[in-house]
Structure 1
Amino acid sequence: MSLFWRLFLLNTAVLIAGAALLLWGPATVSTPFFVTEALILAAGLAAMLLVNAVLLGAGLAPLRRLARAMRAIDPLRPGSRPEVTGSGEVADLIRTFNTMLDRLEAERATSSAVALSAQEAERHRIAQELHDEVGQTLTAVLLELKRVADDSPDSVATALHHVQEITRGSLEEIRRIARRLRPGVLEELGLVSALKALTTEVLPHSGLTARCHVDNDLPDLGGAVELVLYRVAQEGLTNTVRHARATRLDLSLLRGPTAVELYVRDNGRGIGDAAEGAGIRGMRERALLIGAELTLGPRPGGGTEVRLHVPTATKAPAHV
């Protein structure tokens, strides 16, 4: 039965019951009416309205619950579904909404995988160009500066040596940027070495005391999962360096019975009420691709904790 007919029949039943009470009840209405008759009519009307409100509230309660669930849905935290309650059109509406969420989450996962794959390919291309083009050009400049400095008077050679040091520093910075864009150590030496190198790279630039602990008996995670773990760790470290004002940072990758867990912890000022930026949203997008769960919040004793829970049975898209 449709919602319209249920509400219509409920209202009809209430009005018929009220009319029956007036017809067969002991109360009568005369003209002009008496105060007692007016009070009886008012009480009857109030009773009908109350019963009508209770019945309508019970009939529409599933719709209110659905509205609250729709407002609470977060696309970056999938899996939450409103419970199918009620009957008829209300239950059909909730089931349709859940089906729509399933379809949207599947489409979002597919499109995110394609977008992140394209992003990784672009990072690889830019890193390659920085290494091959800019890096080689600066290397040639360094060699030419050395040749000119060797044939110049001491006063000029001193200035040229200073320019050499500036150029050499720029070359190292470009190589560092290229390594961040394309984690070659991840491809060549594996996840453990890549995470340790990432932690070591933080030290000269931030003044942080960084520690990295990785379990030795990690399962075979696959290239896509390892890349997500590396990128989440990289973004967590970057956020700590840029925003946390921390003095200590701990990065851990631990093996559990059914999952591996990545932790990035610091003793900084915490995230407070700050809105999530593009970096955190990117971490959540990557976590969704491999069926992982990302949580970010304050840690006991102060600071921030980033936790990525990756079920070991997860099969990640090969093209992440």
Structure 2
Amino acid sequence: MRRELSLPLFWRVCLINGAVFVLGTLALVLTPATVSARTLWSEVLVLSLGLAVIVALNAVLLRSVLRPLDRLTAVMGTIDLRRPGRRLDEDGAGPARPLVAGFNAMLERLEAERTASTTRALHAQEAERQRIAQELHDEVGQSLTAVLLGLKHAADGASPDVAAELEQVRDTTRTSLEEVRRISQRLRPGVLADLGLLNSLSSLASDLTARTGIPVTRGFLPGLPALSREAELVTYRVAQEALTNVARHAHAHAVELGLTRRGDTLTLRVADDGVGGADATAGAGIQGMQERARMVGGRLELRSRRGAGTEVILELPVAEPPS
């Protein structure tokens, strides 16, 4: 059986056709069937029936070999590495089982390599964000602070008219400094280490309300498990991206932000009552959230109906028993 399964497909087809031809030859040798010098109509009928039987038998035998190839070809055209997990059934592949098994193994390797490369890219992205945030805080922030001090010193010795103008410039500079600090905090979620995940999510909700005026209803159940640093960062980034999309595209009047646990699954939910119609296959932001979810073994689902708002659900596995 193992030798038969190890035969190349070409030789299997040759063996099947050879077996059919041998059966046809044996039928001619072992039966009294003959053909006259001038073929009779009865002999034509017998030959036609025999040919039909040979063709049908050949088709039946080859179907078990080639039909799995048709299914394999159809699946190959629909494979999307952004949606991993799809496999062909090896048990129903028949003689083509080694080929199907090889295809499934290839998908396993491609998905593993893509996950590893995506993980490296996301870690590099986080490191770059940390670097930019540090430079914004140390370089731009300090420069703007020095400008504020210089403007205050200049305003103290200036005439009232000039001092009023300098005060307006100070207000603009102070606003710019606050914006730089806010961008730095978004690039580097230091609040995760300082305040924890729940307080960081609350900070995101408060920031959205302060910038857009959209109220955010928060629902955080107690007894949530301790997460790894990567899982906390993924949860924070997904919530951050989802709330950013609400502010940019949803035209919503209310948002719900929740973090709950059911059994061994931790669920983050961000839902709005906006225009909806978001497409899970388009946009680097949504794809980035999906990649981050897969990086920690989670799953992200986007539910969006036009006119009925959008719901982003992140599910992460947790190993610890619930409190």
Matching of residue 135 in structure 1 with residue 148 in structure 2: no
Which residue identity does 1:59 align to in structure 2?
V
Instruction: Report the Cα distance in structure 2 between the residues aligned to 1:56 and 1:186, rounded to whole angstroms.
Output: 61
Task: Please name the residue that 1:318 is paired with.
Answer: none
> Quick check: 1:232–1:283 contact (8 Å CA) kept in 2?
yes
Task: Please name the residue that 1:57 is paired with.
Answer: 63
- Map residues 54-93 of structure 1 onto 2, 5 A cutoff: 54-85=60-91, 86-87=93-94, 90-93=96-99
- Map residues 92-107 of structure 1 onto 2, 5 A cutoff: 92-107=98-113
Q: SS of 2:219's equivalent?
A: strand
Q: CA deviation at 1:16?
A: 4.7
Q: CA deviation at 1:21?
A: 6.2
- Map residues 115-264 of structure 1 onto 2, 5 A cutoff: 115-264=121-270
Bigger RCO of structures 1 and 2 (CA < 8 A, at least 6 apart): 1
Instruction: Report the Cα distance in structure 1 between the residues aligned to 2:150 and 2:21, rounded to whole angstroms.
Output: 100
- 1:19 to 1:173, Cα distance in 2 relative to 1, 3 A: same
Deviations 1:63-99 (A, max 9, x none): 22333343343323333332213355x2222222333
Instruction: Report the Cα distance in structure 1 between the residues aligned to 2:36 and 2:149, rounded to whole angstroms.
Output: 112
Q: CA deviation at 1:27?
A: 8.3
Which residue identity does 1:122 align to in structure 2?
E
Which residue identity does 1:94 align to in structure 2?
V
1:281 to 280, 287, 302: 287
Instruction: Report the Cα distance in structure 2 between the residues aligned to 1:307 and 1:105, rounded to whole angstroms.
Output: 23
Deviations 1:269-293 (A, max 9, x none): 2235574222222212211221111
Instruction: Report the Cα distance in structure 2 between the residues aligned to 1:8 and 1:311, rounded to whole angstroms.
Output: 51
**TM-score normalised by structure 2 residue count:** 0.85
Unaligned runs of 5+ in 1: 315-320
- 1:87 to 1:57, Cα distance in 2 relative to 1, 3 A: closer
Task: Please name the residue that 2:313 is paired with.
Answer: 307
**TM-score normalised by structure 1 residue count:** 0.85
Greater shift after overlay, 54-63 or 249-258? 54-63
> Quick check: 1:195–1:212 contact (8 Å CA) kept in 2?
no
Unaligned runs of 5+ in 2: none
Instruction: Report the Cα distance in structure 2 between the residues aligned to 1:293 and 1:125, rounded to whole angstroms.
Output: 29
Instruction: Report the Cα distance in structure 1 between the residues aligned to 2:212 and 2:54, rounded to whole angstroms.
Output: 72
Q: CA deviation at 1:299?
A: 6.2
Q: SS of 2:77's equivalent?
A: helix
Which residue identity does 1:282 align to in structure 2?
G
Q: CA deviation at 1:171?
A: 1.1
Which residue identity does 1:111 align to in structure 2?
S
Aligned residues: 312
- 1:288 to 1:29, Cα distance in 2 relative to 1, 3 A: farther
Instruction: Report the Cα distance in structure 2 between the residues aligned to 1:277 and 1:16, rounded to whole angstroms.
Output: 61
Which residue identity does 1:195 align to in structure 2?
L
Instruction: Report the Cα distance in structure 2 between the residues aligned to 1:273 and 1:30, rounded to whole angstroms.
Output: 74
> Quick check: 2:20–2:54 contact (8 Å CA) kept in 1?
yes
Q: CA deviation at 1:300?
A: 10
> Quick check: 2:275–2:309 contact (8 Å CA) kept in 1?
yes
- 1:26 to 1:134, Cα distance in 2 relative to 1, 3 A: same
Instruction: Report the Cα distance in structure 2 between the residues aligned to 1:16 and 1:99, rounded to whole angstroms.
Output: 37
Greater shift after overlay, 62-71 or 251-260? 62-71
> Quick check: 2:234–2:293 contact (8 Å CA) kept in 1?
yes
- 1:243 to 1:53, Cα distance in 2 relative to 1, 3 A: farther
Alpha-carbon RMSD:
2.8
